[in-house]
Structure 1
Amino acid sequence: MPSLDVSFFLTIALVAVRLYGAFNGILSDCDEVYNYWEPLNFLTRFFGKKTWEYQPEYAIRSWTYLLPYALLKYPLSWIQKSLEISGALSKGAIPAYTFFYLTRVALALSFTFAECCLADALTYISSELSSWFLLYQIISPGVFQASISLLPSSFALLFGMLSTASIVKYFRFDLFSHKIERDFISESKVIEDSTEPSIPDTNNEATPPSKASPSQGLSSPQMFLCAMYKGSLSRRDKFFALAVGSAAIGGLIGWPFALVLTAPFVVYVTISLLIVKKLPEPLAAINRRKWSIFIYFLAGLSCTYMVGWIGCLIDGLFYLKSTLVPLNIVLYNVLRTTKETGPSIFGVEPTGYYLLNLFLNFHVIFLMVLVDIPGIGSSDFKMGFWQGLAAYRAPLYIWFAIFFSQPHKEERFMYPVYHLITISAAVFTCKFIRIFGTPDKRRFFYHLARLAFFSVTVALGVLRIISVIQNYGAPLSAFKALAAQPPVHPDNSTILENVCIGREWYHYPSSFFLQSNQRLRYVENGFRGMLPGDFVEPSIHSLDGLRNSTYLDQEGFNNKNEYNPDFVYPNLDSCDYYIDINMPVDSESGEVSIFEKDGSSSNGNWQTIRCENMIDPDRSYGLAKLIYLPTTEIQYFKSFLANLLQNKNVVAIKGSPLYQKLTDRETYKLLLDSKPVKKLSEPETYKPLFENEQVQKLYTESMARVFEVDSKYQLAAKLPGKVFYHKFCVARRI
């Protein structure tokens, strides 16, 4: 199949998977909800939960980052009003969570665009490499989640892919310019050895030396090479500016730590320009190295300054003071950490945390990266060793070195290098498959190896993605049912309804799943850290009203993760809805529950309106906890196979003489007996072993454990592990 067809189908699959993730993907991080979805709800609907990071005193979250997403409310409101005016929909028929999914679609499509740009750039190195990169992007559970996350680290990943694409294209034209230099020198030697005269000068008068053109006296091929050389340098400079600009946007608007990923490329370019290399005079006049260094420095400084200045200006409007949020983030996380403040107060993890997490998010793809680490000295197809090191290898290893050494670890910290992981794995795959053959030599083994890689990676990726959605998708489904409930006070829709949540506060999917007259409240849940408070709701729903709220230093917030009882309701008396799981509560810590094991309400004042299955991670174990095991599909296949074997046509075929002859052992007796195999399974060989009393006792006990499982669950008992579920329920006061 031509590579164009493969790329086309992979692109279609990429778009389909990203859109599927936008509508079905989970919210894996409560920081994403409370630090980004809630402030976005405040920008668009003028209410929401507020974390201490948005206090002007600390100002370590950027409003600049959220503003582009807030603009999506205008096309949605126009569509909604048009449908209401036309009579196609009644007022309020479009739920508020429509904006949530619209934003996710925008995130997914933007992410897909960046992936396609990077895949297109990688075709310069190898079309096969580009195809493997796209495939690994499609079936990686980690990329599946990062592509729809409203997180600065995901934003940094998006612009990191654009930056890497520009870096690859920079090297494309840089290497091309070096090839032109070699060709120009070769052409000059040919002219020197030739007896043919140069192109005659048609001017009658000699040109003064001071006004001589650099192309004077050059042959036609040399003039053509000079023109190509000038064009390649111009394109190279363009992609340098795009690489630095994309990195600046991803770092200064998204996550500042992602700027370190561009450092190896900048160092490489600086060193390559400083290295003195004598060029022929016409080329030296075109490629002035000192001027290039100045232009590059000016371009990089301008990109960084402009992006930082715009961010500082917008954030200053909301915080009512001049502040540089990226600098505040670095100061809080690195330079001003103490025992009482800093990221470590939110938990520390061992070094193996990221290894396990990356294995779950990339399965065998991450193993390829680990295996490929010793191959750091090898060149990568059309890209040389130093270029490959600057483009994706060095940034990946620097990132690992920095964040593996940090005590506080979170999954989203690895987002900015996800594309570098898939590139590295794709390079390893291309090299490893070529051990078995090439498209021209030993084609069968080459395609067999490709099929094996494709089958294993796709199967593991799909099973992991299905497992995550099935096990953790309950909050989104349950809160959709809450959004569809009729008002508690139908006569007066302005009365606020309290939606209370207990132990599952960190699985809250955002206020986009609440109606405009509903507010989230916390009840006692045993948690003794810093819970979010509420933004001061502006009296005027306008930009000025928002700014009058965001610059307020509200009381009760702290950066020490200290518990504030003022943010928690003492009981359920003031609650109209309640969300919790049907698990035993710790009454000593004040936890309350109204749900039975089956999800029904144990309190006559409450009525369960929706329950969804959610994994119980403490009881679940084994492989079944990590990936989806298709036991139901296997049972369906067995039933289908049994029905197929009972089909009259199949029965007729099995009864035919030809089938009997093909399945008769005597037909193959000559072949089987031609190479007699020594029988190693004679009973006398193992008789002393089975007569041993300890062996017999161990065998009896193990078989008893196997068969003591109820026949209904024999299939599940044979699988490596099992998943247990509890109920994630929503109840309404009656």
Structure 2
Amino acid sequence: MNLLPSKPSPRVYPSQLYAVGYIIIALTFALYQPILDCDETFNYWEPLHYLFFGCGLQTWEYHPDFALRSWLYIKLHKILLLPVAVFRGKIHKSVYFYALKCILGMITALTASRFRTAVGYRFGQSIGTNAGLIILGGVGIHSAGVSFLPSSFSMVALFLSLSEWLRLGLDRCPDQSDSTRVWFRIIAYTAASFFLGWPFALPSALAYAIHCLLHDTTHICLRFAAGVTLLILSVSTVVDSISYGRLTLPVFNLLRYNLMPTEHAGSHLYGTEPVSYMLRNLILCFNLIFPIALFFPVSLCLQPYIANPPKPRDAWAYTATLWVLLGAWSCVPHKEERFFSQMYPFIVLSAAVTIETGHQFCCRIFSQTAASILYKVFFALYFCISIARSLALFTLYSAPRELHDAFRRTMPMHDDTEANQRTICYSKDWYRFPSSFFLPSDSERVRVAFVKSDGLDAQLPVPFRTTQSRDNDLNQSNVANSMQFTSVSQCDYLMTSHGNEVDRKNWTKSYQRSIVNAPTAPWYFRAFYLPYVSRHKLSFASFCLYSKHVESESRP
């Protein structure tokens, strides 16, 4: 199987221009996109907050008896924030939050730019341009890029490994030694994607593995792969065993939990979704581009009828992974949007080739001018839908963060004593908590607690004691435990969008913000924000901050 084109095309647009555009978009998402998944809050931001400030909320995955999450992953991100930590005491904790999101976004932007350049070298200038434009409007890429999630880390590593694979065999790697070094980078990025990031991205390496086995230096590459894997797993074992206080390897624990479920333990406890859920989410992330990517096999059939078909002939080898991943995730009952980010590089590549094939085919059927107009209209429509999706993410779900900002700014000062510690409570809206980074910087001043309410019978996070503590009554069966709830009489503040839970005699509304009422809102207006239209078509609830026994004027 020949994966190499006969003549690479070195003509690509300046990657610096794309990189600048990607960075601007990444920073916009970092500053305005709220956390969309409570798993990101409680499994990553809260442990990071604990490392910096000695307090935070702990999920059962971080209990030493289960040890599903790697402290190595958290500590690597802590290193990124050490320059920010120099200013501790002079800045609010939310600066840590936004700084990390900006750093992650810029890293994603640079790796995506490198990937676009590699596509241009391998496939030619036109397909490189298509890939660049797709990434520019790729809401899914930018959203995942600023998320503190292992699946996002895996996506970035896959962008890098695929970039190297696309460069393999080009003029910059004329001899065997250069080619071997490229394979070493591919293996290193792929291993980091799996063992430092997300092990369930393993199917994405299938095409790499087949090509590597057909390579002349297979034995050297296999030895290098074994060495890199052993190194990463050894470091993880040491760091995580020290953190948990027992010998453990979280990546193995995570795989065992998900691949060998029982009746009372497994990802199925957190819901199952049909295949349509995956397809719907990928359309939300890429709108017109995802269906185009699925037409890639059809575009291969059209190439014999095109005067200048896209290069190389073996483009299918680079894009077949998309179908492998679609098939794999179709068989998995428990699905979440963040699981699909490993597909994004392959969606971009498949769609870029398909669009170029379609453009060339239209040039043959219609005039070149008509084909050019269709091309521009398509991308204009793609960008408009992407902007509408971005605005929906920025505006419809930002109330919790805005309310916590107001709470942080107006919380009254008091002595730092246990007796004067304030408690902020959540009930049905517990999953909207944006992380302890949005609480007052003096961590001893505020305690987070949850109030029992109708329908709230799942296991919730509890305060960290130590990373090695086994005192917390946590379980892997998603069964509520007695220590996770507090009495509403112990609360000083209450955040909720369910006003009927509040006894107005004892509570005063201090602040409120509008948040979309998802159950009563049409999905298309929730998914895409249209100025002057969405506000009239959507129904909103009031997400409120209530203060106990405090005379306070309700503010808009």
TM-score (norm 2): 0.90
Q: Using a 3 Å threshold, how does the CA distance of structure 1 residues 494 and 37 change in structure 2: closer, same or farther?
A: farther
C-alpha contact 1:33 1:510 (8 A) present in aligned 2 = yes
* Mapped pair 1:621 → 2:522: yes
Question: Which AA in structure 1 matches 2:391?
Answer: I
Match of 1:21 in 2: 29
How is 1:570-585 mapped onto 2 (pairs within 5 angstroms)? 570=487, 572-584=488-500
Partners of 2:37 and 2:359 lie apart in 1 by 37
Q: Using a 3 Å threshold, how does the CA distance of structure 1 residues 583 and 620 change in structure 2: closer, same or farther?
A: farther
How is 1:388-399 mapped onto 2 (pairs within 5 angstroms)? 388-391=315-318, 393-399=319-325
How is 1:478-493 mapped onto 2 (pairs within 5 angstroms)? 478-487=403-412, 489-490=414-415
* DSSP 3-state at the match of 1:509: coil
**Which of 470, 478, 488 does residue 561 from structure 1 map onto?**
478
Match of 2:447 in 1: 519
Match of 1:678 in 2: none
C-alpha displacement of 1:234? 2.0
C-alpha contact 2:32 2:394 (8 A) present in aligned 1 = yes
Q: Using a 3 Å threshold, how does the CA distance of structure 1 residues 615 and 531 change in structure 2: closer, same or farther?
A: same
How is 1:212-611 mapped onto 2 (pairs within 5 angstroms)? 231-270=174-213, 272-273=214-215, 289=216, 292-334=217-259, 336-375=260-299, 381-385=310-314, 388-391=315-318, 393-437=319-363, 442-487=367-412, 489-490=414-415, 495-515=420-440, 516=443, 517-526=445-454, 527-536=456-465, 549-570=466-487, 572-584=488-500, 592-594=501-503, 602-603=504-505, 605-611=506-512
Q: Using a 3 Å threshold, how does the CA distance of structure 1 residues 6 and 163 change in structure 2: closer, same or farther?
A: closer
Partners of 1:377 and 1:520 lie apart in 2 by 59
* DSSP 3-state at the match of 2:170: helix
Question: Which AA in structure 1 matches 2:23?
Answer: V
C-alpha contact 1:499 1:521 (8 A) present in aligned 2 = yes
C-alpha contact 1:583 1:726 (8 A) present in aligned 2 = no
Q: Using a 3 Å threshold, how does the CA distance of structure 1 residues 428 and 22 change in structure 2: closer, same or farther?
A: same
C-alpha displacement of 1:607? 3.0
C-alpha contact 1:34 1:50 (8 A) present in aligned 2 = yes
What is the total number of aligned residue pairs between the two structures? 529
Partners of 2:298 and 2:35 lie apart in 1 by 36
C-alpha contact 2:310 2:357 (8 A) present in aligned 1 = no
Match of 1:677 in 2: none
Q: Using a 3 Å threshold, how does the CA distance of structure 1 residues 496 and 71 change in structure 2: closer, same or farther?
A: farther
Partners of 2:507 and 2:193 lie apart in 1 by 48
C-alpha displacement of 1:11? 2.9
Match of 1:724 in 2: 539
C-alpha contact 2:13 2:125 (8 A) present in aligned 1 = no
- Which has the higher Rg, Structure 1 or Structure 2? 1
Partners of 2:166 and 2:477 lie apart in 1 by 43
C-alpha contact 1:141 1:464 (8 A) present in aligned 2 = yes
Match of 2:531 in 1: 630
Partners of 1:370 and 1:100 lie apart in 2 by 37
C-alpha displacement of 1:78? 2.4
C-alpha contact 2:299 2:358 (8 A) present in aligned 1 = no
Deviation sequence 1:582-633 (CA, Å, 0-9, x none): 454xxxxxxx325xxxxxxx33x43333211111011111532321122379
C-alpha displacement of 1:237? 1.0
Partners of 1:561 and 1:156 lie apart in 2 by 27
Name the stretch that deviates more: 451-460 or 313-322: 313-322
Query: What's the C-alpha RMSD, in Å, of the aligned pairs?
Result: 2.4
Partners of 1:20 and 1:135 lie apart in 2 by 18
Partners of 2:169 and 2:13 lie apart in 1 by 27
Deviation sequence 1:333-386 (CA, Å, 0-9, x none): 00x21121100011111221111111122111111122224446788833332x
C-alpha displacement of 1:73? 4.2
* DSSP 3-state at the match of 1:66: helix
Partners of 1:504 and 1:60 lie apart in 2 by 25
Question: Which AA in structure 2 matches 1:418?
Answer: Y
Match of 1:688 in 2: none
Partners of 1:239 and 1:141 lie apart in 2 by 30
Partners of 1:376 and 1:337 lie apart in 2 by 41
Q: Using a 3 Å threshold, how does the CA distance of structure 1 residues 239 and 384 change in structure 2: closer, same or farther?
A: farther
Match of 2:124 in 1: 126
Partners of 2:276 and 2:368 lie apart in 1 by 40
C-alpha contact 2:495 2:543 (8 A) present in aligned 1 = yes
Deviation sequence 1:441-462 (CA, Å, 0-9, x none): 9542242122112111000100
Match of 1:170 in 2: 168
Q: Using a 3 Å threshold, how does the CA distance of structure 1 residues 18 and 494 change in structure 2: closer, same or farther?
A: farther
TM-score (norm 1): 0.69
Partners of 1:378 and 1:316 lie apart in 2 by 55
C-alpha displacement of 1:426? 1.3
Question: Which AA in structure 1 matches 2:459?
Answer: M
* DSSP 3-state at the match of 1:102: helix
* DSSP 3-state at the match of 1:578: strand
Q: Using a 3 Å threshold, how does the CA distance of structure 1 residues 5 and 474 change in structure 2: closer, same or farther?
A: same
Match of 1:113 in 2: 110
Deviation sequence 1:181-213 (CA, Å, 0-9, x none): xxxxxxxxxxxxxxxxxxxxxxxxxxxxxxxxx
C-alpha contact 1:50 1:533 (8 A) present in aligned 2 = yes
Q: Runs of 5+ in structure 2 lacking a partner?
A: 1-10, 304-308, 551-556
Partners of 1:236 and 1:632 lie apart in 2 by 55
C-alpha contact 1:14 1:134 (8 A) present in aligned 2 = no
